[in-house]
Structure 1
């Protein structure tokens, strides 16, 4: 089970980082509507969400929702995403894969997919074809 979880996580990591890299750095402030996050804020939210879900559901250490200020550049945001995925991967490698952990991993992946789907829409709004999804 752990091998499957790590493989699925790696696929999510690669695709998420590909989506992040597809947006030109100069367009990270883009938002398709004033009522939504910028592309940068959206990706930062994914990174923080990974960390929050990791604490609460993988490590099972209750943590309040208290996101830090968003990173300011494309490079910093992509580094934050990479670090978040690294931390989650290490937690999964160390965890017993009981039902709570498995549920936590899939809940985390669901949250990533939800917001990554929004990010691909932002790309299309800028006339950018999102990277091909692989599974």
Structure 2
């Protein structure tokens, strides 16, 4: 069961990092009119969310939702995303997953996809062609 989940996770990681890389650092603070978060905040939210969903819904460690504000630069955001994806992959690789953990994984991927779609919109607004999605 873990192999398909890991493949899904790797696809998510690859595409998320491509989206993050596509935006020039000087535009990381940009956001579409009316948007709540800028591009940097959107990506930071994805990384924080991966860790939070993993802890709460896969590991069963109930923690409050308390995302910190971020001033991380592009390199630091990319590292944070990688750290979050690495942790989630380690959780997947650790052994048999409960039904709740699998459901938590799918909720995590859904959350990533939702916010990555918003990040793609940020690219479009800046007239940057988003990377092509690959499955």
Same fold (TM over 0.5): yes
Say which SS state the counterpart of residue 119 (structure 1) adopts: helix
**Counterparts of 2:97 and 2:87 in 1: how far apart (Å)?**
16
Name 1:9's counterpart in structure 2: 9
Name 1:57's counterpart in structure 2: 57
**Counterparts of 2:18 and 2:117 in 1: how far apart (Å)?**
13
C-alpha contact (below 8 Å) 1:44/1:70 kept by paired residues: yes
Q: Which runs of 4+ in 1 moved over 3 A?
A: none
**Counterparts of 2:34 and 2:94 in 1: how far apart (Å)?**
42
Q: Deviations over 1:35-75 (max 9, x none)?
A: 41000000000000000001001111111101123142111
5+ residue gaps in structure 1? Answer: none
- TM-score computed with the length of structure 1 as normaliser: 0.96
5+ residue gaps in structure 2? Answer: none
**Counterparts of 2:131 and 2:95 in 1: how far apart (Å)?**
32
Say which SS state the counterpart of residue 78 (structure 1) adopts: helix
Name 1:104's counterpart in structure 2: 104
- TM-score computed with the length of structure 2 as normaliser: 0.96
How many residue pairs end up in the alignment? Answer: 135
